[in-house]
């Protein structure tokens, strides 16, 4: 017990010294700490595929949906693509109920997407706006930032409902 406490204290001291130095892997860092740092820095950001849970960012009544199928591409959906999803959580008085199969447009994706000017856009979460079969939004408001790449994908109505355009 005392040995494990001493090793924990020494590991904390080493990480403090490593954090104060200018070199990226600190002089006193252990291999375990370097492995943990590499794991967190190489976080997987993949396509939105089957069974991906997405946050709903409109006032249609749904809170979370699970992707059933991406309507474009073999690998999965990216920013601006349309998906088929099942509602997993919903507000009790909303337009959309739990268990309903809906269409949605991906408005925020954790996977990075390159822009024409060389910059890349990526978000912290995966989010979707629910639409009907014709592509018209079900809700009347869209919360949070929405990228202007949706204009190229002909989702101008979502851009007009959004507050911030990123």
Which pair of structure tokens corresponds to residue 5?
């406490």
Measured N-to-C along each axis, helices 31-41 and 2-20 cross at an angle, to the nearest 10 degrees, of: 60
pLDDT: which is higher, 26 or 60: 60
Residue 28's nearest CA partner among 39, 17, 40 is 17
Q: Residues with Cβ < 8 Å from 132, sequence gap 6 or more?
A: 103, 138
Query: Is residue 19 within a helix (H) or strand (E), and if so which, with residue range?
Result: helix 2-20
Greater model confidence, 166 or 110 = 110
Instruction: Say how far apart CA 151 and CA 158 lie, in whole Å.
Output: 9
Residue 163's pLDDT band (cuts 50, 70, 90): confident
Give the residues across from 84 on adjacent strands: 69, 103
* Predicted local distance difference test score (pLDDT) of residue 43: 55
Residues 6 or more apart from 59 whose CB is under 8 A from it? 94, 139, 140, 141, 143
In the predicted model, what is the mean pLDDT of residues 9-19?
42
% the chain with pLDDT above 70? 73
pTM value is 0.72
- The span from the CA of 97 to the CA of 154, in Å, is 27
- Angle among Cα 54, 72, 89 to the nearest 5 degrees reads 20
What is the model's pLDDT at position 74?
84
Could you read off the pLDDT of 33-74 as tens digits, one per residue? 444 454 444 456 788 999 999 999 999 999 999 999 999 878
Give the model's pLDDT for residue 154: 87
Q: Is the pLDDT of residue 94 over 70?
A: yes
At residue 4, does pLDDT exceed 60?
no
Taking CA atoms, 54 is separated from 63, 72, 136, 162, in Å, by 9, 17, 19, 18
Q: What is the pLDDT of residue 18?
A: 43
Mean pLDDT rounded to a whole number for the chain? 80
Q: Show the domains of the chain with their CATH numbers.
A: 52-165 (2.40.150.20)
């Amino acid at each position: 017990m005392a040995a494990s406490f001493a090793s924990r204290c020494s590991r904390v001291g080493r990480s403090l010294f490593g954090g104060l130095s200018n070199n990226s892997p600190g002089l006193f860092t252990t291999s375990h700490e370097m492995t943990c740092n590499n794991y967190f820095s190489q976080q997987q950001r993949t396509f939105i595929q089957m069974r991906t849970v997405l946050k709903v960012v409109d006032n249609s009544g749904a809170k979370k949906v699970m992707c059933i199928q991406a309507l474009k591409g073999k690998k999965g959906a990216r920013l601006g693509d349309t998906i088929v999803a099942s509602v997993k959580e919903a507000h009790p008085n909303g337009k959309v109920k739990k268990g309903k199969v809906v269409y949605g447009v991906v408005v925020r994706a954790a996977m990075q997407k390159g822009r024409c000017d060389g910059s890349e856009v990526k978000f912290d979460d995966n989010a979707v706006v629910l639409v009907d079969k014709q592509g018209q939004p079900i809700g009347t408001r869209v919360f949070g930032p929405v990228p202007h790449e949706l204009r190229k994908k002909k989702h101008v109505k979502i851009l007009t409902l959004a507050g911030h355009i990123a």
